[in-house]
Structure 1
Amino acid sequence: MHRLPPPGSPPLRAATALGALAVVLLFLVTADWRPLISLDRSVARGLHRAALDHPFWTHVNRILTDWVWDPWTMRLLLALVVLWLLWRGDRIVALWIAATAAVTTAVQQGLKAAVGRDRPVWERPVDSAEYAAMPSGHVMTAAATCVLLLWLAHGYGVRGAPWRAALAVAAVSVAGVAFTRVWTGVHWLTDTLVGGLLGLALPLAALAAGSAHYDLRARPPKTATSSGSSSSASGRQRGQDTTPGSSSS
């Protein structure tokens, strides 16, 4: 049976570390710490010049950020997964995923309003975005979605090469959408860093906080047997267990 790990597990420690780092970055940005603000501006100016000089790659980045890794694309993906889980009868898992995604979105929008950071402003913009800059909603949503889907895939027994491929896709997606947001000039570097850290930390914290046990794999159907046959089968099993050198698969 697949189960959510109890408090004190590695997901909780990882969530605590990632969340603490995000809080530190948030504090430094709101305190207008010069070295970090200078880094933001330097990276933004450099990538904006590159975006103007390479319109083809700017177009590619806009497609990736506006369609492939757009928050609504990620939410639609999670909605389809939730519907599939409900169809399978895994209601608790479906509700847990939906609730975690909803809380992540609420935290994201609340922080944007609280911090109120302005986005970069350019004489020749290559893209546009509305509302406050920090944290990046694109990056935060992509990171949270990847954590939830990876957890679900692991619960269904994905291992080996498919698991490594899923990890690679998740890493490329989170790093990729962060790059597109800075390349297109709508976010500062630290916006994407805080978004990524919180997008990883929140679902990990929700995962670690769970105490219920969830069976994410299809259970074999139970067959009705008479009490006599059940006792006989139980006796045979006990006999096998007491046989020297015997083992169960």
Structure 2
Amino acid sequence: MATALLLAVVPFAMLLLLVEDNWGPLAGADFAARDRLHEYALTHPVFVAVMRTASDIGSALAWQIVTVLLVIWLLWRRLWRLAVFVVVTIAGSSLLNSVVKAAVHRTRPVVSQPFVNEPGASFPSGHSQAAVVGFGVLLLLLLPVLRGHWRQLTVAVAIVMVLLIGFSRVALAAHFISDVVAGFVLGAAWLAAMTAVFSAWKVMSGDAPVRPADGLAPHQEPTARTPGR
């Protein structure tokens, strides 16, 4: 977990420095992608519709609904620690994103005919960060009950959805590429940190630590112990 966290935090810090320093190659890539994708989108309404749909799937409202449903299901199964993990990880990610955006205060891309009018700052992309955290949480909950090709398919779908949501934010000129990449990296760092905290919590409670490849194993949540054992 510590290695995963370090591998995510270091690239984010480097990317933040490059954005703050307005590094030429990165700025050039950001503006080139904005201009070319926007030019393409202006003449392809179906493309815009698909990108809007992908963006809506990754919206804050969508993740709020998913979070509520997950928590209700986990509490119904009396998996209260996992319910806490879901709430803290998803809600905390949103709060972290707002704090970083306020600190960096980067202006959003400006185009002649915007497809979306997003409030707030641009760096890092909230949709991209939420996608990594949200789909990451879903995978951690689903992996223990999936086997074989179903597990591989679920992971593949999650990766595609994360990339599609991130791409949609650039295609709609809501974010620069660097905003999206930063959202991915910060989301991965936050997810790794929260999973490490949850693993430590399990260990202190006398359970086995979390192995990300195996998920959070909700079926292994502790049950009431028989007196004398």
Shorter-chain TM-score bucket reads 0.7 to 0.9
Percent of aligned positions that are identical = 30
The alpha-carbon deviation at position 85 of structure 1 amounts to 0.5
Correspondence for 2:74 among 75, 85, 99: 85
Correspondence for 1:192 among 180, 193, 216: 180
The alpha-carbon deviation at position 15 of structure 1 amounts to 2.0
The alpha-carbon deviation at position 93 of structure 1 amounts to 1.2
Q: Which runs of 5+ in 1 are unaligned?
A: 1-10, 225-249
The alpha-carbon deviation at position 63 of structure 1 amounts to 2.0
What secondary structure sits across from 2:218 in the alignment? coil
Kindly indicate whether the alpha-carbon contact (under 8 Å) linking 1:52 and 1:126 is maintained by their aligned counterparts in 2.
no
TM-score, scaled relative to structure 1: 0.79
Correspondence for 2:151 among 145, 151, 163: 163
Correspondence for 1:104 among 93, 96, 105: 93
Indicate whether 1:61 and 2:63 are aligned.
no
Q: Partners in 2 of 1:42 and 1:59 — Cα distance?
A: 22
What secondary structure sits across from 1:121 in the alignment? coil
Aligned partner of 1:117 in structure 2 is: 106
TM-score, scaled relative to structure 2: 0.86
Kindly indicate whether the alpha-carbon contact (under 8 Å) linking 1:85 and 1:94 is maintained by their aligned counterparts in 2.
yes
The alpha-carbon deviation at position 83 of structure 1 amounts to 1.1
Q: Which runs of 5+ in 2 are unaligned?
A: 208-216
User: Pairwise mapping of residues 144-183 of structure 1 onto structure 2 (< 5 A)?
Assistant: 144-154=133-143, 156-183=144-171
Q: Whose relative contact order is higher, 1 or 2, with alpha carbons under 8 Å and at least 6 apart?
A: 1
Cα offsets for 1:159-190 (capped at 9, x unmatched): 21111111111101110011100001111000
Q: Partners in 2 of 1:76 and 1:12 — Cα distance?
A: 31
What secondary structure sits across from 2:6 in the alignment? helix
Correspondence for 2:30 among 40, 56, 62: 40
User: Pairwise mapping of residues 211-226 of structure 1 onto structure 2 (< 5 A)?
Assistant: 211-213=200-202, 216-217=218-219
What secondary structure sits across from 1:32 in the alignment? coil
Q: Partners in 2 of 1:150 and 1:91 — Cα distance?
A: 18
Indicate whether 1:31 and 2:21 are aligned.
yes
Cα offsets for 1:113-135 (capped at 9, x unmatched): 00000011111222221110011
User: Pairwise mapping of residues 196-215 of structure 1 onto structure 2 (< 5 A)?
Assistant: 196-209=184-197, 210-213=199-202
The alpha-carbon deviation at position 62 of structure 1 amounts to 1.0
What secondary structure sits across from 1:217 in the alignment? helix
What secondary structure sits across from 2:219 in the alignment? coil
Q: Following superposition, which runs of at least 4 residues in structure 1 exceed 4 angstroms of deviation?
A: none
Kindly indicate whether the alpha-carbon contact (under 8 Å) linking 1:147 and 1:204 is maintained by their aligned counterparts in 2.
no
Q: Partners in 2 of 1:29 and 1:211 — Cα distance?
A: 35
Q: Given residue 51 of structure 1, which amino acid in structure 2 is its aligned partner? A: A
Kindly indicate whether the alpha-carbon contact (under 8 Å) linking 1:61 and 1:180 is maintained by their aligned counterparts in 2.
yes
Aligned partner of 1:238 in structure 2 is: none
Cα offsets for 1:67-114 (capped at 9, x unmatched): x22222122112211111111111111112211112211110001100
Q: Partners in 2 of 1:167 and 1:78 — Cα distance?
A: 19
What secondary structure sits across from 2:150 in the alignment? helix
Kindly indicate whether the alpha-carbon contact (under 8 Å) linking 1:71 and 1:142 is maintained by their aligned counterparts in 2.
no
- In the alignment of these two chains, the number of paired residues is 210
What secondary structure sits across from 1:131 in the alignment? coil
Greater C-alpha Rg: 1
Aligned partner of 1:14 in structure 2 is: 4
What secondary structure sits across from 1:211 in the alignment? helix
